[in-house]
């Protein structure tokens, strides 16, 4: 149906073989591949003393992060105004209140350290940031605010596996960081996620939360290392299974090259969209390396977004919106207003996401840009 779709999997025989090997192995969950994936991911992040805990989704990771930090009823958690609804949902699910902080500017759409500081109250229990579209947040500014107010920091790294800030990997700055490996993420395994922390106590708490608070695993008992278990704290089952971990290992090997290809395609979009009236955010991100999760653009103020999406569709180009604002959702209408985040409120109606994926061809970018220019009525 689509000539250029928003996203395509970067899959081949390697993922097929990896999954088939698990089926043949006779062991389906929490085995050697999960451990191998956690170890390989820690190595990929390249930061000393980072422990990884693989889980069933990015949302499970976020939920566990809040629980591990003791966030609950009466607490407030500061989150970005421009993000996926999971960040607000998990805060509500643990009984706390999400509080919105604004974007930095019409170019830097990431949460602003200054806006976080303005939202801090005596009830603030944690700060949750998102490296939007794969571009690192201002970590110096955010870490400074968190340190001065003694607030734990959670990084949502769903868009940014492999992104860096001054050479250090995103997902190694916060007290806890949460990755997602959902189908359309840079590392795709269907459903899956992972938490990182450098705090050994938090790491242990996350392990218990992941698997019923139990002290031993089925594999330990299978291998005769244990005959029973104790339960240390109430926990969940947010485990990752072996097939998904095997897919993760195959995808992790491809990730550096795939991220580089996303960067080349983004550079082509930037060149071709110059002087079109459409701007691509994060044009000025010094000292940071993006992993280009998506290709968001800011449409001209006068453009009719619905009409442009429809015109692109007529030419077989799929587009999307990242993200609809919280205050337009039924569950959040009474909680948030655009007045709380004027920059995000200005971006929301003008944001459009164009196709971007590592197997995309250069001519696909040409076609998308030509289609967008035609939709906008600007000369090619
Ligand atoms: C995808 C995503 C999530 C949720 O991850 P799942 O694995 O789908 O649960 C959370 N935050 C952001 C910013 C995301 O893009």
CATH code: domain of residue 46:
3.40.640.10
Q: What is the pLDDT of residue 66?
A: 98
Asked if residue 155 has its Cβ within 6 Å of ligand 1, the reply is no
List, for residues 179-205, the tens digit of each pLDDT value. Answer: 999 999 999 999 999 999 999 999 999
Helical spans, DSSP H, in the chain: 13-25, 32-45, 58-68, 86-93, 113-119, 139-148, 200-210, 218-222, 242-273, 305-314, 342-347, 362-376
Number of structural domains the chain divides into: 2
User: For a substitution probing ligand 1, which of 6, 54, 55, 58 has the most ligand atoms within 8 Å of its CB?
Assistant: 58
Q: Is residue 285 part of a domain?
A: yes
Residue 219 has pLDDT above 90, yes or no: no
pLDDT tens for residues 268-302? 999 999 989 999 999 987 799 999 999 999 999 99
Q: Let me know if residue 4 belongs to a domain.
A: no
Total-model pTM:
0.97
pLDDT at 174 over 90: yes
| Residue range 324-361, pLDDT digits in tens | 999 999 999 999 999 999 999 999 999 999 999 999 99
Ligand 1 centroid – CA 86 distance (Å): 6
* Ligand 1 site, residue 57, Cβ cutoff 6 A: yes
Tell me if 201 sits within 8 A of 193, measured CB to CB: no
Q: What percentage of the chain carries pLDDT values higher than 90?
A: 93
Is the minimum distance from the CB of 195 to ligand 1 under 6 angstroms? no
The span from the CA of 121 to the CA of 76, in Å, is 8
Binding site membership of 75 for ligand 1 (Cβ less than 6 Å): no
In a shared domain, residues 244 and 301: no
Tell which of 250, 270, 287 closes a domain: 250
Mutation probe of ligand 1 site: the residue of 57, 182, 321 with most atoms within 8 A of C-beta: 182
* Together in a domain, 94 and 240: yes
Last residue of a domain, one of 225, 250, 275: 250
pLDDT digits (tens, 9 = 90+) for 47-77: 989 999 999 999 999 999 999 999 999 999 9
Q: How far apart are CA 361 and CA 341, in angstroms?
A: 37
Q: List the catalytic residues.
A: 185
**How much distance in Å is there from the Cα of 58 to the middle of ligand 1?**
5
User: 324-329, long-range: CB within 8 Å, 24+ apart, which pairs?
Assistant: 324/348, 325/81, 326/81, 326/85, 326/88, 326/100, 329/85
Q: Are 308 and 151 in contact (CB under 8 A)?
A: no
Judge if 112 and 47 occupy the same domain.
yes
Regarding the beta carbon of 59 and ligand 1, being less than 6 Å apart is answered: yes
Name the residue at shortest CA distance from atom 14 of ligand 1.
158
Task: Determine the distance separating the centroid of ligand 1 and the alpha carbon of 154, expressed in angstroms.
Answer: 14
pLDDT of 21:
98
What does the pLDDT average to over 219-241? 90
Average pLDDT over every residue of 20-45: 96
The confidence band for 226, taking pLDDT boundaries of 50, 70 and 90, is: confident
Residue 236 in this model has a pLDDT that exceeds 90:
yes
CA 182 – ligand 1 centroid, Å? 7
Pairwise CA distance, residues 28 & 220, whole Å: 14
Whether residue 219 is contained in a domain is answered as yes
CB of 180 closer than 6 A to ligand 1?
A: yes
Among 250, 281, 304, where does a domain finish? 250
Please check whether residues 242 and 260 belong to one and the same domain: no
Among 188, 196, 195, smallest CA distance to 244 is for 188
Q: Would you state the pLDDT for residue 218?
A: 78
Position 380 scores a pLDDT of 62
- Residue whose CA is closest, atom 15 of ligand 1? 158
Q: What is the percent of the chain where pLDDT is above 70?
A: 99
Is residue 170 located within the same domain as residue 299?
no
Based on the fold, state whether residues 164 and 297 are members of the same structural domain.
no
- CA distance linking residue 60 with residue 203, whole number of Å: 15
Residues 82 and 219 in one domain: yes
In which domain, by residue range, is 289 found?
255-376
Contact in structure between 341 and 103 (CB atoms under 8 Å): yes
- Give per-residue pLDDT as tens, 84-121: 999 999 999 999 999 999 999 999 999 999 999 999 99
The pLDDT tens digits for 142-163 are 999 999 999 999 999 999 999 9
Q: What is the DSSP string of 61-111?
A: HHHHHHHHTT--TT-EEEEESSS-THHHHHHHHTT-EEEEE-BS-SS--SB
């Amino acid at each position: 149906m689509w000539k250029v779709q928003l996203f395509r999997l970067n899959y081949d025989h390697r993922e097929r073989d990896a999954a088939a090997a698990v089926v043949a192995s006779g062991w389906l969950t929490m085995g050697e591949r999960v451990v191998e994936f956690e170890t390989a991911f820690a190595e990929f992040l390249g930061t000393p003393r980072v422990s990884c805990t693989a889980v069933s989704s990015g949302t499970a990771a976020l939920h566990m992060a809040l629980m591990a930090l003791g966030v609950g009823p009466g607490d407030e958690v500061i989150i970005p105004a421009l993000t996926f609804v999971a960040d607000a949902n998990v805060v509500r699910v643990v009984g706390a209140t999400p509080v919105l902080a604004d974007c930095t500017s019409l170019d830097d759409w990431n949460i602003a350290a200054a806006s976080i500081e303005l939202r801090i109250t005596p009830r603030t229990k944690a700060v949750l940031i998102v490296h939007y579209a794969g571009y690192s947040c201002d970590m110096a500014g955010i870490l400074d605010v968190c340190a001065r107010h003694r607030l734990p920091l959670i990084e949502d790294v769903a868009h940014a596996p492999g992104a860096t800030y001054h050479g250090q990997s995103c997902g190694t700055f916060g007290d806890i960081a949460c990755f997602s490996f959902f189908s359309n993420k840079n590392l795709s395994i269907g459903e899956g996620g992972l938490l990182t922390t450098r705090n050994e106590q938090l790491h242990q708490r996350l392990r218990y939360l992941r698997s019923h608070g139990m002290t031993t695993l089925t594999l330990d008992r299978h291998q005769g290392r244990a005959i029973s278990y104790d339960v240390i704290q109430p926990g969940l089952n947010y485990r990752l299974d072996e097939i998904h971990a095997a897919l993760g290992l195959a995808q992790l090997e491809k990730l550096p090259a795939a991220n580089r290809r996303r960067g080349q395609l983004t550079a082509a979009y930037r060149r071709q969209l110059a002087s079109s009236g459409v701007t691509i955010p994060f044009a000025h991100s010094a000292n940071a390396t993006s992993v280009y999760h998506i290709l968001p653009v800011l449409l001209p103020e006068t453009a009719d977004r619905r009409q442009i999406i429809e015109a692109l569709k007529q030419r077989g180009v799929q587009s999307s919106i990242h993200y609809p604002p919280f205050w337009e959702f039924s569950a959040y209408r009474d909680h948030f207003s655009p007045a709380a985040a004027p920059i995000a409120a200005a971006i929301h109606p003008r944001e459009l996401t164009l196709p971007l994926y590592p197997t995309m061809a250069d001519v696909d970018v040409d076609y998308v840009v030509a289609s967008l220019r035609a939709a906008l009525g600007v000369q090619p």
